[in-house]
């Protein structure tokens, strides 16, 4: 009775893991209440028995039934920074002192949205980074394949990562932002190595 788990292969994502069946007690109680209201005590017994046999949907713990496996957690093995290709640059990220401490310990967590979509936002302009917090993190980043974005109407402004790019770059004074300062968004935080916090 209750939740049962079995090791299976998910038909959606083909990943192996446990699939949870949420049946048993909840079905029994629901069936008993409904049967009891309609038919009295005998109906409660019949309804409880039928309710406990109710077929429920199974949800894969790996993909949740979506077919897409969850992104790696911060505890997953990180790729060696030196194994990434592309141009290497020193950049800056502004944040609070508390967030900077967490980033130095555990690495960056990509934002889920922003002007250039999801990723880690950096700038080659230290003054631009300072607009986002009183603590500046200096990093080395391996940019990989970079998409240049110069307009808010660019069709790849937020979708560059799904098109095979590793980073997106807004050049200084291109008219994209009112400050005129450059900005870069990096999809994979493993491409970023913290050099200094302060």
pLDDT in tens, 30-48: 555 555 556 666 555 555 5
Q: Which pLDDT score is estimated for 186? A: 96
φ/ψ of residue 33, rounded to 5: -65, -45
Task: Enumerate the domain spans of the chain.
Answer: 3-60, 81-197
C-alpha span between 162 and 164 (Å, rounded): 5
C-alpha span between 31 and 98 (Å, rounded): 52
Q: Pick from 187, 41, 196: which is nearest to 118 by CA?
A: 187
pLDDT-above-90 percentage for the chain: 52
Instruction: Determine the distance from the C-alpha atom of residue 191 to the mean position of all C-alpha atoms in its chain, rounded to a whole number.
Output: 16
- CATH fold of the domain at 81-197: Phosphoenolpyruvate Carboxykinase; domain 3 (3.90.228)
Q: What residues have CB less than 8 Å from 44, skipping those under 6 apart?
A: 32, 33, 35, 36
- pLDDT tens digit sequence for 102-161: 999 999 999 998 999 999 999 999 999 999 999 999 999 999 999 999 999 999 999 999
Q: Pick from 8, 188, 4, 157: which is nearest to 84 by CA?
A: 188
Q: Which pLDDT score is estimated for 196? A: 93
Helix or strand holding residue 3 (H, E): strand 3-9
- 168-to-53, 86, 156, 186 alpha-carbon distances in Å: 53, 13, 9, 7
Return the ∠ at Cα 6 (arms to 47 and 24), rounded to 5°: 15
Q: Are 56 and 28 in contact (CB under 8 A)?
A: no
Q: Which one is predicted more confidently, 74 or 138?
A: 138
Confidence of residue 198 (pLDDT cuts 50, 70, 90): confident
Q: What residues have CB less than 8 Å from 48, skipping those under 6 apart?
A: 28, 29, 31, 32, 35
Q: Which pLDDT score is estimated for 86? A: 75
Q: What pTM does this model have?
A: 0.60
Q: Which pLDDT score is estimated for 68? A: 42
Mean pLDDT, rounded, of the chain: 75
| Coil vs helix vs strand at 90 | strand
Helix or strand holding residue 129 (H, E): helix 126-130
Q: Are 186 and 166 in contact (CB under 8 A)?
A: yes
Least confident interval from 66-70, 85-89, 99-103: 66-70
């Amino acid at each position: 009775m209750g939740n049962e788990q079995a090791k299976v292969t998910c038909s959606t994502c083909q990943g192996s893991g446990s699939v949870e069946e949420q049946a048993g007690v909840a079905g029994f109680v629901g069936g008993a209440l409904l049967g009891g209201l309609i038919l009295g005590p005998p109906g409660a017994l019949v309804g409880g028995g039928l309710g406990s046999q109710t077929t429920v949907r199974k949800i894969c713990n790996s993909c949740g039934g979506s077919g897409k496996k969850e992104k790696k957690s911060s505890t997953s093995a990180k790729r060696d920074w030196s194994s990434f290709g592309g141009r290497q640059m020193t950049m800056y990220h502004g944040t609070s002192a508390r967030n900077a401490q967490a980033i130095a310990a555990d690495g960056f967590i990509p934002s889920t949205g922003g002007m250039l979509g999801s990723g880690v936002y950096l700038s080659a302009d230290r003054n631009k980074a300072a607009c986002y917090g009183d603590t500046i993190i200096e990093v080395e980043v391996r940019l990989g394949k970079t998409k240049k974005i110069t307009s808010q109407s660019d069709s790849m402004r937020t979708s560059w990562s799904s098109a095979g790019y590793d980073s997106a770059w807004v050049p200084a004074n291109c008219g994209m932002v009112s400050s005129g300062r450059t900005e870069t968004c990096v999809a994979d935080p493993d491409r970023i190595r913290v050099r200094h916090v302060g």
